[in-house]
Every structure is written in structure tokens, then in C-alpha cells.
Amino acid sequence: MSKFEEKTIQSKEIFDGKIIKVSVDDVLLPNGEISIRELVKHQGAVAVIAVTEDRRFLMVEQYRKPLEKAIVEVPAGKLEPGEAPEVTAVRELEEETGFTTDQLEYVTSFYTTPGFCDERIYLYYTDQLVPITEEKALDEDEFLECQSYTMAELDQLVKDERIHDLKTMYALQYLKLRGF
């Protein structure tokens, strides 16, 4: 048994969407009381740190509706059910950047918002990029622009809050600790 475990008494589904499911669970607390937990279920995702031969970093800019602004992020995308994360990683890299790789290094994985959501992101790194000849289609409701940046440019984007999401800010620190 995990410390402070909260056993589910019953789970009520609130919403079953394309990206997320939402439920409200009654749980038994460690002190014997009952409380509720609002839970968002997500398929999980991958993100790829992609470094070019001349030490530039591939990033994608896209509009993020919850923030009501466009931000610059590491290439990333949702897992398909049953898909191995490294397969998703190569697919998203190809679709979003026009490059592929056969040398993908697993960095780590993390939960983005453990308080209410089970989204887990698997992070990869590659500095072995090969341009693909055939353009891959994005999702039909996906609009983004890929560009490469120097580390100094990325630092400025963070200051300007044009890079403003945690996985990308983690990726930048990772690169610095790796010597970039």
C-alpha cells in the first residue's frame, strides 16, 4: 500500500472527450473520512529535443487556446492508444519539423499536473536529424510553424514569455546541464 493511499469508493464519469476524460471520484481518506477527487484522464504524450548539426534547436510555434496566445514549444504530440512512445516521438518529429531520426535517446518521463491529471510525457533527445523528402500531414485542426533557434534566442523567448510552458522550459535547462 502506498503512503496516504486514497481508495476509490465510486467513480462518476462527467465527460468523455477526444483529448480528455473527466470523472469525479469518492475516495476514502487515510483518516477514514470520505472526500471527492476531480480527475482528468489523458492518453499521455511525447516531446522531442531536436538539435541540428550547427547546434540550433528545432521548435514549433502554435496557438494554445487555453492560454489565448501562440507559444514556442519543443515538438510534441499525444500518444495513440497502444503506441510505443518512441514511435510517437519519431512521427511527431517528422510531422512537425520535416526531419526524422533513427537515433532517439530517451531522457526521462514526468507527470505534468499530478494534482488532478494523469498526463505523462516521455521526453527524447536527438542530434542526428535527417530531412524527410515527403511532407507529412499535420492533424487537420493543427496549425504550426517550425523554426530553429540558438540558445541565446531561446533564453530571450523565455524572458518574453513566448516560451512559457513547463516541458519546454525543462528541455532548455536539460540542454544547459548537458553543456549547450
Asked whether position 62 contacts its own copies by CB under 8 A, the answer is yes
Q: Please identify every residue annotated as catalytic.
A: 140
Task: Kindly state whether residue 24 participates in binding its own copies, applying the rule CB under 8 A.
Answer: yes
Contact 6, 41 (CB under 8 A): no
Q: What is the enclosing helix (H) or strand (E) of 85?
A: helix 85-97
Q: Quote the CA–CA distance of 135 and 76 in Å, as a whole number.
A: 17
| Cell of residue 52, nine digits | 541540428
Q: Is 138 in contact with 95 (CB distance < 8 Å)?
A: yes
Residues 76-105 touching its own copies, rule: CB under 8 A, are none
Q: Which of 15, 106, 147, 156 forms a contact with its own copies (CB under 8 A)?
A: 15
Please identify, using beta-carbon distances, which residue of 82 and 115 lies nearer to its own copies. 115
The residues, ordered by sequence, that sit 6+ positions from 171 with a Cβ below 8 Å of its Cβ are 47, 49, 74, 123
Residue with C-alpha cell 499525444?
A: 78
Task: From 101, 148, 150, 92, select the one nearest 121 (Cα to Cα).
Answer: 92
Stretch that binds its own copies, among 51-59, 93-101, 118-126, 146-154 (CB under 8 A): 118-126
- Candidates 20-28, 50-58, 92-100, 128-136 — which segment interacts with its own copies by CB under 8 A? 20-28
Among 137, 140, 152, 179, binds its own copies (CB under 8 A): 140
Residues near 115 by beta carbon (within 8 Å), at least 6 away in sequence: none
**What are the backbone angles phi and psi of residue 126, rounded to the nearest 5°?**
-145, 140
Minimum distance, C-beta of residue 178 to its own copies, in the bound complex (Å): 11
Question: Which of 28, 138, 144, 146 is close enough to bind its own copies by CB under 8 A?
Answer: 144
**Site stretch for its own copies (CB under 8 A), options 88-96, 98-106, 112-120, 130-138:** 112-120
> Based on CB atoms, which residue is closest to its own copies, 106 or 111?
111
Instruction: For residue 129, give the DSSP letter.
Output: -
The verdict on 67 binding its own copies (CB under 8 A) reads: yes
Check if the beta carbon of residue 91 is closer than 8 Å to that of residue 98: no
Residues near its own copies (CB under 8 A) are 2-6, 14-15, 17-20, 22, 24-25, 27, 29-31, 33, 35-42, 45, 61-71, 73, 108-119, 121, 140-141, 143-145, 158, 164-167, 169-170, 173-174, 176-177
